[in-house]
Amino acid sequence: MGVEVKRVLVTGAAGFIGAALSYKLLEMGMAVIGIDNLNTYYDPNLKKSRIKLIECDSTKKAFDWSFRQFGIEDQKKLNDIFRNFQPDIVVNLAAQAGVRYSLENPRAYINSNIVGFTNLLEASKGFDVKNFIYASSSSVYGGNKKLPFTESDSVNHPVSLYAATKISNELIAHSYSHLYNLPCTGLRFFTVYGPWGRPDMAPMIFAKSILDDEPIEIFNYGNMQRDFTFIDDVVEALVRCCLKPAFPDPDFNAYKPEPFNSWAPFRIFNIGNSQPTDLMNFIEILEQAFGKKAIKEFKPLQPGDVINTNSNNTKLEKWINYKPNTSIEDGVFKFASWYKNYYS
C-alpha cells in the first residue's frame, strides 16, 4: 500500500538525520521544504554546513528545496507553511534531543517535544496530510532488562524526561490516528551514527577526544552496550516508511491489544542494527580507524542512562522488506574518514 509523494515537509532538517533524509528525498525527485530552529544545543555551524551542502547541490542538480528557520512551537508559522506548501508527507525529526540535558533544562523538552509535536499533528489533520512519520527513540524502553527490545514490550518506566516525551508522542499520535484517520508511524531509533553526526553523541565525542589527546569519559566503567545504527540504513528505512502509510490492522485484537499497532492507521517500529556492540569494542574500532589510542577515564553510570540497547527489527523488516545491514566496522571507518576530512 503506497502513496504518491510530491511534497515532503521535514522538520529538524538541519539535524543529523533530517539533513540526510532531505538530501535523499531530493535525489528521488521530490519537493522538500525543511524547517529547523538552528538552536545552540550543539554547534549551529555544523547544522548550517549540512544545509549549505543541500543548497549547493540544489543548484547543481536542480533540487526542489526550500528552508525556513523557526521552531515547531510557532503554530502560526507552521500553519503558513502547510497552507502554502501543502505537504503530502510530514516527517517530524525536530525535537530537543539528549538525555542528560533534560536534567538541566526540562522545559525545552516540553516545548519542542510535546507542544511542537502537537502543533504538527494539528496542522497535519487540517491539511489532508497522507502520511505522518515521527522520530521516537530506543530510550522509551527505559528500565527494561529483557533483550532484545521489541515493540510489544512495556514502555511505562522511562528513566529520563526525554524518554517520557517520546512515549507521550506515541500516545498523542495514536489519538490523532483514531480521531482523524491520520496515518502515523513512529520510529524508535537506536544510537544513530555516521558522517555529519551529532557532536553530543558518543562517536563524535570519542573521535574528538582521541584526536585531541584528551581523556574519554567512559561511563558505567565501560560495562555498556549500544545498538549502533548507521545513518544510511536509517535513511533507507525512513524513505520506505514514507512511501507506505500506516493502515488499520485487520488482525488487531482489542481484548489483547499490542502497543505497536491499532484499529486506527497507526504503527510503531524499531530501527536498529540488531547487533549490539560493547562500548569498549566500539572505542577499539575507533582507535583502529584513527590509528591512535584513546586516553580512557572510567566513571560510574550517569543518571538517565541505560546500560544496554538491542533492537529487534522483525516488524520493520516485514513492513518495508528492509533491515539495517551496515557492519559496525564499515560504519565506523566511513564516519572516521568524514570526521578527519571535515575537521581537518
Q: Are 94 and 41 in contact (CB under 8 A)?
A: no
131 backbone dihedrals φ, ψ, rounded to 5°: -160, 130
Does the active-site annotation cover 342?
no
Residues 169, 113 contacting (CB under 8 angstroms)? yes
Q: How far apart are CA 185 and CA 174, in angstroms?
A: 9
Is the link from the previous residue into 203 a cis peptide, with omega within 30 of 0?
A: no
**Which member of 41, 109, 141, 162 is catalytic?**
162
Diameter over CA atoms, the chain? 59
User: Of 334, 309, 323, which Cα lies nearest the Cα of 194?
Assistant: 334
| Spatial CA neighbour of 99 closest among 159, 185, 36 | 159
Q: Which residues are catalytic?
A: 162
